[in-house]
Amino acid sequence: MPRDGDYVFASFKNKGATPRTAGILIADYLKKAALDLGLIKLGERFGGHNLRHSLATFLVALKTDPKTVQGLLRHSNVTTTLALYAHGRNQDRAAAQDAVITAFFAPASDTVQ
């Protein structure tokens, strides 16, 4: 029967007296999920730092102000946030390519858009 003070992710090593560390939770749960989803390949490193990259990419895709993303990640320079942490997404690249192809094959018009 659960009691007040029980940990959801209790440490096996400490017989439930302490919670499991973030690193262990990532290794035991998130890394396995990333493998199952095909986000990483077997043998690739995966840790909490990957989550920072994912957060930056997600927020930029939502069109969050870059300075806000920089602040959340506590980077001193927004270039670090945008050039190193935020990554392009396949669906965004596909949409951009589709827009170019659509424009390329569109009927000619006298107006420039």
pLDDT tens digits along 63-109:
999 999 999 999 999 999 999 999 988 888 888 889 889 988 888 76
* Tokens 């997600």 sit on residue: 58
Could you tell me if 65 and 82 are in contact, meaning their C-beta atoms sit under 8 angstroms apart? no
**Phi, psi (degrees; rounded to nearest 5) at 10:** -80, 150
Task: Dig out the tokens for 79 from the structure.
Answer: 């270039």
Does the pTM surpass 0.75? The reply is no
Instruction: Identify the CA nearest to 30 among candidates 46, 14, 41.
Output: 46
Distance between CA atoms of residues 48 and 44, nearest Å = 14
What pLDDT is stored for residue 112 in this prediction? Answer: 59
Domain boundaries of the chain, sorted by first residue: 1-46, 47-108
Query: Which tokens in the block code for residue 3?
Result: 């009691």
Closest among 2, 21, 3, 1 to 11, alpha carbons compared: 21
